[in-house]
């Protein structure tokens, strides 16, 4: 990764009662992670249970007519029992008087009818008084329910009465609930019946309103319940990711947590605790190779894919040294860096001291750190990125990762082992697109350079300091595990380059100590039958100084990282001179280093970019300025001093006109045509230079906002080649960018 002086060194739970009778929620099996927590939560699914009304809806009242004694009622036809004279008499009385009609339309028994009617009215008045009394006593509801129950058993037949039952409601019900008198006798309507009808209408209206409300409230309640679960979990963990980005984890469907052995439940081997299970084999296995889990891998693989028509398929040999590597890093992913993902750092106050992965994890705490970083692993780099890498014409991918993917030690705040499975998944995605892998151990125990991309900014405690020897041995142990794992046949064709440690700061460390450690690491790795090319960093010694080193070993590759922006003299070069520097100086260095007579031999540029300023946010560390503007104050870094600080502007105009980062940090859509042309030419000149050796890996594939460090954004902006091999600039042609109107402080 870029370095500085390389001192880059830097429910509403909801109301549970409101739906108690009409809506119940039950969790189903199947789970998910909250967007920002490592804790497993259940996905609720909702089952609706229907409830019948406590009393059935009133039956439609049949019209009941008086029939002459010589006719048979419908109810009497329904039984084979003969009616006795007493039953007929009771039936006659129940139908309110023996009202018969003669042939002239006159009424017989009118006098009897009058007496009965008067008695009925008195009875109704008594009942109304009683109803008022009971209503006032709070008993009305029970009375109505009792009457409704009796109403359902309404049968006025001779047989019913003969068995000793009383008439329906002890009242008279005549034609359509009214007492009707034919002719001029008029009609009288029961007040109680009318009140009952009004009550039924009110109940019906209320029922409809309740149903409408429930139809709205129940689904809304479900949504709010789900939302409250998600938001409450998010609040307890990371605030940076919403549940809308939660992966579906469909491959857990049909599985149960009981399928996972109890001793593994809740551990990193339990897929029900994983934030993302996409493209993982979630069948539990405790199997390990080299002490590293194979959980998540499928048993089969296919090496028939190739990155493009210019290169061989994975199962064919690559002629390294003859065919140039055109690769890209996926930096800032498994080893986070502030310049690549500033959003992970920008919300903290300066006083929080969050400047690297160590301090970030310490500040968040174990649970929040795990959920925050696993979401980052899941979301920052996806299969679509590997498809895009292939489409851009790349054939190799360098994957930086750190030692905590394998293990952690006492006192480490890092999230252990979670990134391991994401590394394995990335390798399988690369395989799918025919991309070969360069494995890069980016952070070693104790920090090999003291820069933030090693995980812990500040002191170097790798092969130096109190625990330097211990941390050197720990790194050897990690390589023993890694080389055993990646010596499997499934990785032979895809893991073709294997890195020892990224950017050891050999300008500070004892050179002989680092060389001795390097020899031990190579010996251990080869003993585990890993056949991949082993790459090691130049340590900023200068390529020429590696001539004659490590010549007792074969299949080694020297890795150099080239930038013009971390050197005060190079960053001050005019635009044309920067392009010329790439074409001449770096080309000559590469050629000398690649020849064993003048250098080490096989040489690769493992990192470079088109950036011509050090203006990107957090590039030189969190809270540190830039050389370009003269605001690089290293005193603000842990253990910092004026050493490495640049407090005078270093852009080519020496601040006259003023040096500003505004243009470089702006969206590429605002770049002037001449600046876009310069950036494209500068990139293509570097590609030419590094292909004089074994090739190159651009730093990096994507960033959040550092446009000149993102190949993905560079393609979109037209400032990087659409295909890595489709280039127009040729070294030596010369371009007068100032004559094109490009200001040197741009």
SS3 79: coil
- pLDDT number for residue 734: 87
| Nearest one of 527, 603, 306 to 434, comparing CA atoms | 306
- pLDDT number for residue 123: 74
Counting beta carbons within 10 angstroms of the beta carbon of residue 432, is it exposed (0 to 12), middle (13 to 18) or buried (19 or more)? Answer: middle
- Pairing outcome for strands 325-329 and 695-698: parallel
Does residue 111 carry a catalytic annotation? no
Candidate from 5-19, 55-69, 476-490 with smallest mean pLDDT = 55-69
| Distance in angstroms (rounded) separating the CA atoms of residues 467 and 720 | 44
- Pairing outcome for strands 187-189 and 288-289: unpaired
Kindly tell me if the per-residue pLDDT of 27 is higher than 80.
no
Q: Which residue has the tokens 């007929």?
A: 88
Q: Which residue has the tokens 């310049």?
A: 339
- pLDDT number for residue 660: 96
Q: Are 702 and 339 in contact (CB under 8 A)?
A: no
| Nearest one of 382, 402, 591 to 501, comparing CA atoms | 402
Does residue 607 carry a catalytic annotation? yes
- pLDDT number for residue 386: 99
Kindly tell me if the per-residue pLDDT of 519 is higher than 60.
yes
| Distance in angstroms (rounded) separating the CA atoms of residues 273 and 279 | 16
- pLDDT number for residue 317: 98
Overall size of the chain counted in residues: 746
Which residues have C-beta within 8 Å of that of residue 632, sequence separation ≥ 6?
Answer: 614, 620, 624, 625, 626, 644, 645, 646, 647
Kindly tell me if the per-residue pLDDT of 222 is higher than 50.
no
| Distance in angstroms (rounded) separating the CA atoms of residues 686 and 706 | 19
| Distance in angstroms (rounded) separating the CA atoms of residues 347 and 181 | 88
Kindly tell me if the per-residue pLDDT of 417 is higher than 80.
yes
Q: Are 295 and 421 in contact (CB under 8 A)?
A: yes
- pLDDT number for residue 193: 54
Q: Give alpha helix (H) positions in 611-691.
A: 662-665, 673-690
Two tokens, residue 631: 């605001």
Candidate from 49-63, 246-260, 309-323 with smallest mean pLDDT = 49-63
| Stronger pLDDT, 91 or 644, i.e. the higher one | 644
Average pLDDT over residues 706-711: 98
| Distance in angstroms (rounded) separating the CA atoms of residues 656 and 649 | 10
Point out the catalytic residue in the list 357, 503, 549, 691: 503
The predicted-structure confidence for 92-143, as pLDDT tens digits, reads as follows 444 433 333 343 344 444 444 445 566 667 777 777 777 666 665 554 444 4
| Stronger pLDDT, 198 or 700, i.e. the higher one | 700
| Distance in angstroms (rounded) separating the CA atoms of residues 69 and 528 | 112
| Stronger pLDDT, 604 or 21, i.e. the higher one | 604
Q: Are 286 and 269 in contact (CB under 8 A)?
A: yes
- pLDDT number for residue 47: 38
Kindly tell me if the per-residue pLDDT of 484 is higher than 50.
yes
SS3 328: strand
Point out the catalytic residue in the list 607, 629, 684, 691: 607
The predicted-structure confidence for 568-624, as pLDDT tens digits, reads as follows 999 999 999 999 999 999 999 999 999 999 999 999 999 999 999 999 999 999 999
pTM given for the model: 0.70
- pLDDT number for residue 136: 57
SS3 27: strand
Average pLDDT over residues 245-259: 93
The predicted-structure confidence for 176-221, as pLDDT tens digits, reads as follows 333 333 333 334 444 555 556 666 666 767 767 676 565 554 443 3
| Nearest one of 465, 434, 431 to 447, comparing CA atoms | 465
- Pairing outcome for strands 436-443 and 396-402: parallel
Q: Are 566 and 619 in contact (CB under 8 A)?
A: no
| Stronger pLDDT, 609 or 91, i.e. the higher one | 609
Domains in the chain, ordered, with CATH?
74-173 (no CATH), 325-354+381-717 (3.20.20.80)
| Distance in angstroms (rounded) separating the CA atoms of residues 727 and 583 | 14
| Distance in angstroms (rounded) separating the CA atoms of residues 619 and 115 | 107
| Distance in angstroms (rounded) separating the CA atoms of residues 107 and 79 | 32
| Nearest one of 351, 344, 193 to 704, comparing CA atoms | 344
User: 296: which strand partners?
Assistant: 281
Kindly tell me if the per-residue pLDDT of 364 is higher than 60.
yes
- pLDDT number for residue 132: 67
| Distance in angstroms (rounded) separating the CA atoms of residues 123 and 636 | 99
- pLDDT number for residue 129: 72
- pLDDT number for residue 215: 55
Q: How confident is the model at residue 406 (pLDDT cuts 50, 70, 90)?
A: very high
| Distance in angstroms (rounded) separating the CA atoms of residues 553 and 549 | 10
- pLDDT number for residue 209: 64
């Amino acid at each position: 990764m870029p370095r500085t002086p390389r001192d880059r060194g830097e429910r509403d739970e909801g109301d549970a009662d409101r739906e108690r009778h009409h809506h119940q929620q039950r969790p189903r099996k199947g789970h998910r992670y909250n967007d920002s927590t490592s804790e497993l939560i259940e996905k609720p699914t909702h089952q609706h249970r229907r409830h019948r009304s406590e009393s059935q809806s009133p039956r439609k009242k049949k019209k009941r007519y008086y029939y002459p004694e010589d006719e048979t009622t419908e109810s009497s036809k329904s039984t084979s029992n003969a009616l006795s004279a007493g039953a007929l008499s009771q039936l006659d009385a129940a139908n309110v008087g023996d009202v018969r009609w003669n042939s002239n339309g006159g009424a017989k028994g009118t006098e009897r009818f009058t007496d009965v009617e008067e008695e009925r009215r008195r009875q109704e008045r008594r009942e109304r008084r009683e109803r008022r009394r009971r209503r006032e006593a709070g008993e009305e509801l029970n009375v109505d329910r009792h009457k409704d129950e009796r109403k359902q058993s309404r049968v006025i037949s001779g047989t019913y009465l003969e068995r000793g039952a009383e008439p329906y409601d002890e009242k008279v019900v005549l034609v359509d609930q009214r007492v009707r008198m034919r002719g001029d006798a008029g009609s009288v309507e029961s007040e109680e019946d009318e009140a009952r009808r009004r009550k039924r209408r009110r109940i019906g209206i209320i029922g409809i309103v309740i149903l409408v409300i429930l139809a709205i409230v129940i689904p809304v309640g479900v949504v709010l319940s789900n939302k409250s679960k998600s938001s409450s979990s998010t609040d307890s963990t990371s605030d940076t990711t919403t549940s809308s980005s939660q992966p579906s984890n469909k491959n857990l469907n049909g599985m149960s947590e009981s399928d996972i052995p109890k001793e593994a439940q809740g551990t990193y081997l339990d897929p029900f605790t994983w934030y993302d299970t996409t493209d993982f084999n979630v069948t539990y296995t405790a199997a390990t190779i080299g002490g590293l889990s194979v959980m998540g891998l499928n048993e089969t693989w296919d090496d028939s894919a190739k990155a493009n028509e210019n290169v061989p398929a994975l199962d064919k040999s690559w002629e390294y040294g003859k065919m140039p590597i055109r690769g890209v890093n996926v930096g800032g992913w498994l080893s986070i860096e502030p310049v690549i993902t500033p959003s992970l750092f920008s919300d903290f106050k300066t006083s929080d001291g969050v400047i690297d992965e160590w301090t970030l994890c310490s500040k968040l705490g174990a649970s929040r750190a795990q959920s925050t970083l696993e979401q980052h692993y899941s979301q920052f780099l996806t299969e679509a990125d590997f498809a895009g890498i292939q489409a851009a014409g790349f054939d190799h991918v360098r994957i930086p990762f750190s030692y905590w993917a394998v293990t952690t030690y006492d006192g480490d705040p890092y999230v252990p082992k979670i990134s391991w499975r994401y590394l394995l998944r990335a390798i399988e995605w690369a395989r799918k697109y025919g991309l070969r892998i360069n494995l890069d151990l980016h952070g070693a125990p104790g920090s090999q350079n003291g820069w933030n991309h090693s995980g812990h900014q500040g002191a170097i405690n790798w092969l130096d300091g109190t625990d330097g020897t211990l941390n050197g041995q720990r790194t050897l142990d990690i390589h023993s595990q890694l080389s055993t794992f990646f010596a499997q046949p499934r990785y032979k064709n895809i893991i073709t380059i294997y890195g020892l440690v990224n950017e050891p700061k050999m300008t500070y460390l004892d050179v002989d100590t680092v060389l001795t450690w390097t020899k031990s690491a190579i010996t251990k790795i080869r003993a585990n039958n890993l056949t991949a090319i082993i790459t090691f960093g130049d340590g900023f010694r200068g390529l020429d100084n590696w001539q004659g080193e490590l010549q007792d070993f074969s299949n080694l590759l020297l890795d150099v990282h080239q930038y013009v922006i971390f050197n005060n003299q190079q960053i001050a070069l005019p635009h044309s001179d920067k392009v010329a520097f790439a074409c001449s100086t770096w080309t000559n260095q590469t050629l000398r280093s690649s020849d064993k007579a003048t250098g080490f031999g096989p040489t690769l540029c493992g990192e470079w970019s088109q950036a011509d300023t050090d203006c990107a946010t957090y590039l030189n560390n969190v809270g540190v300025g830039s050389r370009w503007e003269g605001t690089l104050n290293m005193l603000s870094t842990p253990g910092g001093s004026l050493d490495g600080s640049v407090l005078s502007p270093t852009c080519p105009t020496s601040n006259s006109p003023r040096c500003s980062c505004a243009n470089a940090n702006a969206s590429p859509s605002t770049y002037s045509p001449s600046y876009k042309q310069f950036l494209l030419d500068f990139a293509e000149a570097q590609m030419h230079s590094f292909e004089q050796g074994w090739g190159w890996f651009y730093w990096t594939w994507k960033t959040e906002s550092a446009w000149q460090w993102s190949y993905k954004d560079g393609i979109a902006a037209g400032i990087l080649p659409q295909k890595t091999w489709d280039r127009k600039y040729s070294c030596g042609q010369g371009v007068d960018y100032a004559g094109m109107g490009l200001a040197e402080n741009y």
